Structure 1
Amino acid sequence: MIKTCFIASAGFGTRMGNLGKIIPKPLWPFFNLRLLDLQVAYAKMLGCNNIYINSHHCHDEMLVWAKDKDVVLLHEPDILGSGGCIHNLKKHIDDEVIFIINSDQFYFFDFEQIQNDVERMLSANAIAHLYAIEVDKDASYNETKVIDGKLTSISPHDADRNYLTYSGVGILDLRKIPLVEGESSFFKTVADYNNKTVHMSLPKNPVFLDLGTLDKYIDVISDLEKLPAVVKKFVASIEELEGTDFRSTSIMDWLGVRFDFDSRIITYKEKDYSF
């Protein structure tokens, strides 16, 4: 039922240290591929053959990556924010229910429930169905509060318990989202839960893989044996990675980038960056 996926990829890479200023985070390596290669494979696994990706930071590098890919790159000369990128997408496609994901995170759960979530969203005339993750009580994310399956508020977390926050993964009905020009926030102009019905749920048995910061990225790729089984199965199914054995190593090389995990040094174009 969902044939289009939007991959949010226009951040500045600031959470990846100095190297994030040079290589856009979506193009950071994973084996002999880039994170975006995995995201495109993930979107196709979900049944989405129309894939849109926004870009801003290091757009030229993104163009080089996209030139032989079956994707549509939407350049933002001025960054449009988490809401503006969706409105910019509406200028290209505005009559569909779409799936949205972030370029540096993967969320695995029973995807068969997506169809039920779409049907429930449409029958309730909701504008979105968003997927939550449960995070530790000491995490610094905003807390999303859900009542009867509907998102009711977003606020800083202030209780001594684990809580739910938005994962960045969800379903949007573009037909119900009024077009807004310029930069805007996702929860003000897209999933406007104060004025529209926005569904949110925590999937059953979820597995969330976050590579969004330098520390998290290093933790994942420096010990690939620790990847959850569902992630290993997904990565091994990608054609370009056939035969991947997930062995750990202290030094890894990808397309001109060398990571030395013992020395905690990244070498790129003969320059060293500590992590």
Structure 2
Amino acid sequence: MIKTCFIASAGFGTRMGNLGKIIPKPLWPFFNLRLLDLQVAYAKMLGCEKIYINSHHCHEEMQNWAQGKDVVLLHEPTILGSGGCIHNLKKYVDDEIIFIINSDQFYFFDFSQINEDIKRMLEDDAIAHLYAIKVDHDATYNETKVIDGKLSSIAPHEGTSSYLTYSGVGILDLSKVPQLEGESSFFKTVADFKNKNVHMSLPKEPIFLDLGTLDKYIDVISELEKLPTVIKKFVAAIEELDGVDFKSTSTMEWAGVTFNFDTNTISYEGKDYSF
């Protein structure tokens, strides 16, 4: 299996409301851990031994979190974008096939297929194998069209049917990624499907959990009992969360953050924030 994982974590936190300006989204609590704690556990579950995480917004808080953890934090004083962060990673890791994930999403599927996907990548000289999700026709994501297992186009969706979009999870052959400086886009300088082979597939019976916006985050934590079984098992297997109760209450306190679903407020360090 893959031994190295990169967790994209260098956003601005703007989709998390005013509190997102103070707590970087990767460090929002999930039970009494942080989202990044769960992502590190997820990467290790996949067999990854080396974990790299980029940072920009609230970097000092990210540094404090990383103290004593078996991860490498790659600070971006100027944000490098979805492509630039991968090019920057090449300064530390090269000639490896790595797993890439986002800090605010979880994707569960039959991971035994990853080795087959790597085999097809190597046979076809592909730079990446990306995993898609199916979304409703009125979703606001770009549509990724796949022909014969290869990504062929990305464009705004038109029509009334569900469609595929990129999940943010994939396998990447760093040896095929050029060394570039500065900000760039993932699909222009890394998974450049117009000039390189980029594989994409929709896994069988996938489970996707998105906590990337304040609304989605609140929807999840306010109804923990509705979490898919596979995610409950994953969370319950994390040592620090042994015996966790998957039940939401009107008021919950996680890692110094209080959520009040009666008043629709989040309290942190003596201040209230509405949601």
TM-score range, shorter chain: over 0.9
Distance 2:232 2:257 in 1: 23
The CA RMSD measured in Å over matched residues stands at: 0.6
Within a 5 Å distance, the mapping from 1:228-239 to structure 2 comes to: 228-239=228-239
Give the conservation status (yes or no) of the 8 Å contact 2:132–2:203.
Answer: yes
Distance 2:213 2:157 in 1: 21
Distance 2:141 2:208 in 1: 15
> What are the Cα deviations for residues 51-82 of structure 1, in whole angstroms up to 9, with x where unaligned?
00000000000000000110000000000000
Indicate the residue corresponding to 1:66 in structure 2: 66
Give 5+ residue unaligned stretches, structure 1: none
What is the aligned-residue identity percentage?
80
Cα distance, 1:159 vs structure 2: 1.2
Indicate the residue corresponding to 1:270 in structure 2: 270
Distance 1:140 1:132 in 2: 15
Indicate the residue corresponding to 2:221 in structure 1: 221
Name whichever of 250-259 and 26-35 sits farther off.
Answer: 250-259
> What are the Cα deviations for residues 171-192 of structure 1, in whole angstroms up to 9, with x where unaligned?
0000001111100000000000
Distance 2:234 2:272 in 1: 32
Indicate the residue corresponding to 2:4 in structure 1: 4
Amino acid at match of 2:175: R
Amino acid at match of 1:169: V
Indicate the residue corresponding to 1:28 in structure 2: 28
Indicate the residue corresponding to 2:101 in structure 1: 101
Indicate the residue corresponding to 1:14 in structure 2: 14
Indicate the residue corresponding to 2:80 in structure 1: 80
Indicate the residue corresponding to 2:44 in structure 1: 44
Instruction: Give me the TM-score of the superposition, normalised by structure 2.
Output: 0.99
Name whichever of 57-66 and 254-263 sits farther off.
Answer: 254-263
Distance 1:101 1:262 in 2: 34
Segments ≥4 residues shifted beyond 3 Å: none
Distance 1:260 1:20 in 2: 17
Indicate the residue corresponding to 2:260 in structure 1: 260
Structure 1 residue 161 corresponds to structure 2 residue 130: no
Distance 1:265 1:74 in 2: 33
> What are the Cα deviations for residues 216-267 of structure 1, in whole angstroms up to 9, with x where unaligned?
1001111110000000010001011011121221111122211101111011
Q: Secondary structure at the match of 1:134?
A: strand
Q: Secondary structure at the match of 1:153?
A: strand
Give the conservation status (yes or no) of the 8 Å contact 2:31–2:255.
Answer: no
Q: Secondary structure at the match of 1:19?
A: helix
Indicate the residue corresponding to 1:187 in structure 2: 187
Aligned residues: 275
Distance 1:239 1:128 in 2: 33
Distance 2:159 2:69 in 1: 45
Give 5+ residue unaligned stretches, structure 2: none
Distance 1:215 1:42 in 2: 23
Distance 2:111 2:98 in 1: 14
Amino acid at match of 2:145: K
